[in-house]
């Protein structure tokens, strides 16, 4: 399905869902940002204090994977809603940010390293 769906289509799905519920009034930048971080924390909570092998097991358990997927979808929902409400072209902005990161993390200095750009 990912291969057949555009970001614009996803934004429209989110917009329609929210408009039908008259939620525009609640979706300012602050509250949508809170939604992103709250849902991100709920996603992270699944992995807290888990080893790599335990996490791998979670993804092999269909019920646990579904719970993780639902939290990830909640994060995506808020990201899409934020972009839709404030007319942000996510594709253009991601490409722009990757270009910035290419300069900050040159392959010859960063390949295979997890150091922050200020440390390389």
Residue 118 binned pLDDT confidence (cut-offs 50, 70, 90) = confident
Q: How far is residue 2's CA from residue 67's CA, in Å, rounded to a whole number?
A: 19
Q: In whole angstroms, what is the distance from residue 72 CA to residue 24 CA?
A: 22
Q: Is the pLDDT of residue 54 over 90?
A: yes
Q: Which residues of 24-61 are buried (b: 16+ CB within 10 A; e: fewer)?
A: eeebeeeebeebbeebbebbeeeeeeeeeeeeeebeee
Where do the CATH 1.10.287.1080 domains begin and end in the chain? Answer: 2-88
* Full-model pTM: 0.91
Q: Assign domain 2-88 to a CATH class.
A: mainly alpha
Confidence band (pLDDT; 50, 70, 90) for 117?
confident
pLDDT, mean of residues 35-41: 98
């Amino acid at each position: 399905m990912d291969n057949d769906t555009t970001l614009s289509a996803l934004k429209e799905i989110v917009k329609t869902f929210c408009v039908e519920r008259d939620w525009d009034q609640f979706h300012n930048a602050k509250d949508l940002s809170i939604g992103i971080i709250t849902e991100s924390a709920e996603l992270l909570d699944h992995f807290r204090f888990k080893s790599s092998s335990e996490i791998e097991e979670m993804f092999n358990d269909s019920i646990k994977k579904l719970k993780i997927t639902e939290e990830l979808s909640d994060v995506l929902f808020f990201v899409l809603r934020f972009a839709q409400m404030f007319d942000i072209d996510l594709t253009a902005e991601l490409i722009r940010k990757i270009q910035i990161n290419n300069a900050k993390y040159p392959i010859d200095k960063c390949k295979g390293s997890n150091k922050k750009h200020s440390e390389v």
